């Protein structure tokens, strides 16, 4: 009887250690839990896109779209990105192993096909290409190294400006 109890106790300890190791191995990279599914929010506005810039962080790369006025509308998804009004695929002109199509629900004055950001030293970002504006919708192809977790969100400011931000993780 005593041997059975000792064996049962040993099995419980082994199971607990196994569960702890599995939980540690499954911990998300840098705590990132964003996923790679479609994302959308906000409404159509007439806020004018002023600039596009990028940034590098320890766990992700960032693209910032800054607007004059309150911008809040976007749709983002992995897959093919197409020019507004023309329907031409942008992936042949966009560096990277995967493309995030970002449709801003605001107008912009970037020329279709224009590479709008320098991302040479980045871990994840490979390119940002304008897909044009039509009827107040603006498309960008964000070229990334591979299909990785990403998030999109809006920020107010500075002043009367607003920003739509896309962060793409360096890994899963």
- pLDDT one-digit tens code per residue, 120-152: 999 999 999 999 999 999 999 999 999 999 999
Closest listed residue to residue 106, CA positions, set 161, 61, 54: 161
Strand pairing class (74-78; 98-104): antiparallel
CA distances from 54 to 20, 87, 105, 149 (A): 38, 26, 20, 17
Instruction: Note the pLDDT tens digit of each residue in 65-85.
Output: 999 999 999 999 999 999 999
Q: Taking 90 as the threshold, does the pLDDT of residue 2 lie above it?
A: no
This prediction's pTM: 0.84
HEC string of 101-144? EEEECCCCCCCCCCECCCCCCCCCEEEEEEEEEECCEEEEEEEE
Give the DSSP letter of residue 146: S
Rg (CA), the chain: 22
Give the number of other Cβ atoms within 10 Å of residue 43's Cβ. Answer: 10
CA 18 to chain CA centroid, nearest Å? 34
């Amino acid at each position: 009887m005593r041997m059975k109890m000792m064996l049962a106790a040993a099995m419980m300890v082994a199971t607990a250690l196994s569960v702890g190791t599995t939980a540690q191995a499954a911990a998300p990279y840098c705590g990132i839990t964003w996923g790679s599914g479609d994302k959308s929010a906000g409404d159509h506005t007439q806020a004018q896109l002023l600039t596009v810039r990028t940034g590098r962080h320890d766990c992700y790369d960032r693209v910032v779209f800054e607007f004059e006025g309150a911008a809040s509308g976007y749709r983002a998804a992995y897959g093919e990105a197409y020019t507004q009004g023309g329907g031409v695929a942008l992936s042949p002109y966009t560096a990277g192993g995967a493309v995030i199509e970002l449709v801003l629900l605001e107008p912009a004055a970037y020329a279709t096909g224009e590479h709008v950001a320098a991302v040479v030293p980045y871990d994840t970002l490979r390119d940002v290409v304008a897909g044009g504006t039509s009827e107040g919708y603006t498309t960008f192809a964000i070229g990334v190294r591979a299909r990785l977790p990403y998030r999109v969100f809006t920020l107010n400011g500075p002043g009367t400006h607003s920003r739509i931000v896309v962060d793409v993780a360096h890994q899963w």
